[in-house]
Amino acid sequence: MSGGNAIRGTRVGAGPMGESERGESAPRRRVSYWCANGHESRPSFAVEADVPENWDCPRCGLPAGRDEQTPPAPPRNEPYKTHLAYVKERRSDADGEAILEEALAKLRRQREEP
């Protein structure tokens, strides 16, 4: 069953906007970037815009540079560290034993008190 309104879901003036309505587009230039996997991406920039040195590869996500022969190195992935790993970086085993003994002594004193 069809409705009686043929332009349902549209609004007045929602037609395609051409250059005549929005003005001339800025002159563009394409710049090539290469990642460590050999992928080339060619984003376009306005002629007067500053072109970045690095660009993220849209295929693999690695950083890409403008020099095909020496693309940027992939970022080094650090493994996830637990809270305990960070604590062990700051404290030695002897420090940990001393803190544990202090906490146990405090608990023992609290239990002895009526």
60 known ligand binder = yes
54 annotated ligand-binding residue = no
What is the 8-class DSSP label of residue 105? H
Q: Has 83 been labeled as part of a binding site?
A: no
Name the amino acid, one letter, at 75: P
Q: Are strands 44-46 and 28-30 parallel, antiparallel or unpaired?
A: antiparallel
| Burial label, 33 (beta-carbon count in 10 A; 0-12, 13-18, 19+) | buried
Q: Is 57 annotated as a binding residue?
A: yes
What is the rounded distance in angstroms from the CA atom of residue 17 to the CA atom of residue 23? 10
Task: Please give the annotated binding residues, written as ranges.
Answer: 35, 39, 57, 60
Binding-site residue set for Zn(2+): 35, 39, 57, 60
